[in-house]
Amino acid sequence: MTMKKTIIATVLALLTVFETSNSVSAQTIYTSLPDPEDKYYQPFKDSLKYFNQSLQRNAVSEDKFFTLADQEENFKTKNFYYPDIWLRDVAPVVTTRLVKFQYAPNYLKPKDSHYLNGRFNKFLKSRYRYSKSSLILDGGNLQWNGDQTVILTNQVYHDNPDWSKQEIVEELQDKLNIKHVIIISKEPGDVLGHSDGMVKFISSHKLFINDFSYEPGFLKQIEHQIRKQDPEMKFVVLPSAYTSKGQYDKKIASAKGLYINMLETKQAIYFPMYGLKSDKKVMQLVAAQTNKKIIPINVGKISTLGGSIHCLTFDVPDRFAK
C-alpha cells in the first residue's frame, strides 16, 4: 500500500512538472493597429497590416499572435481599441513577475500618456494577474537576463526626479524580484532613452551590444559601464546599419538599421529586416549565437517612425493569465 502511494505521488509530481514547463514555454504576443482614421499613422496603414500578417503567418506554433483592433482583419485580432502601435512601452515588464509601471514618458503630452495608460490597464485587468509600481518606466527601457539582472538607461532617473537613485534601484529589485540593476547612459540625443536599441541579453552574462557606429567612442563607454557593474559580462557586438534617411517624426529618431531591436520568445527570434544590404549578414551573426529559429520580418518602412519589432510587440507568458 505504501509503495502504491509512493508511485502515485511520483506520477502526480511528474505531471505537475510537465504542466509547469508547458505553461512557462507558452506565450501570447500582442501587437496593435491604430485607428484607421488616425492621420499620423495613415501613411503606414498598409505596412502595419502587412507586418501583422507576416508575424502571424511565419510564427512558430508555440507563439500565439493577436492584434488589438476594433475592426475585422484577415489575421487574428482581439476586439479591443488601443489607438497606438508601441505596445512595449505601455505594457508590463516580465521577469518571474509581471509588473505594470507608470507610463508617463516625457516625449508625450501628459493627457495622451494618461489616456493610453488607462486604456492598456483596462485591457490587462480582465486578462492577467500583475502588480503595479508608481515608478515611471517605459517597457522598452528594461532588459532582463532571465535570472537576477536587469539593464536600463539612466532615463529612469530623469523620469523620476522625486525618487533617489537608491530608491529606484530598490523598487526595481523588490517589484521585479531581482538582485542586480545595471544602469547605463542613454544614447546622446535620444528622446526615448530606451535600452532595447542598445543591448539585448543572449544569456545571463552575455549581451548583444549595438556597435554605435554613428556615435564614436560610445561603445567602449557602455561596455565599461556594464563591466564595472558586472565584471563577468561578455559582449557580442552587433553591427548597426542605422540611417536617418526617411525619418518620419522630427522629434523621434528613426530606428531603421537597428538590428538589436528584435523579439525573442522561448522558441524563436523575430528578426528585423530593413531592406538594407547588411540585413542577411547581421541575421547570420545572430543565428550563430542561438539554436532558436530565426524568422525575418520586414519593418523597413515602419521603423522610420522610431521603433522596430521589439517596440511593436508585447510578449507575455501564459502563466500570468487569469
Q: Which strand ranges, in their side-by-side order, compose the sheet holding 268-273?
A: 263-264, 268-273, 293-298
Residues of the chain with confidence (pLDDT) below 50: 1-24
- For 135-168, b/e burial (b = at least 16 CB within 10 A) is bbbbbbbbbbbeebbbbbbbbbbebbeebeeeeb
Spell out the domains of the chain, with CATH numbers in brackets: 28-320 (3.75.10.10)
Residue 23 confidence (pLDDT): 36
Question: What DSSP character marks residue 321?
Answer: B
Contacts of 175 (CB under 8 A, 6+ apart): 97, 99, 131, 133, 135
Residue 6 confidence (pLDDT): 46
When computed from its CA atoms, the radius of gyration of the chain, rounded to whole angstroms, is: 20
Please check whether residue 213 is in contact with residue 187, taking contact to mean a CB–CB distance below 8 angstroms.
no
Read off the C-alpha cell for 117: 495608460
CA distance 123 to 125: 6
Residue 313 confidence (pLDDT): 98
Mean pLDDT, rounded, of the chain: 92
Residue 17 confidence (pLDDT): 37
pTM: 0.91
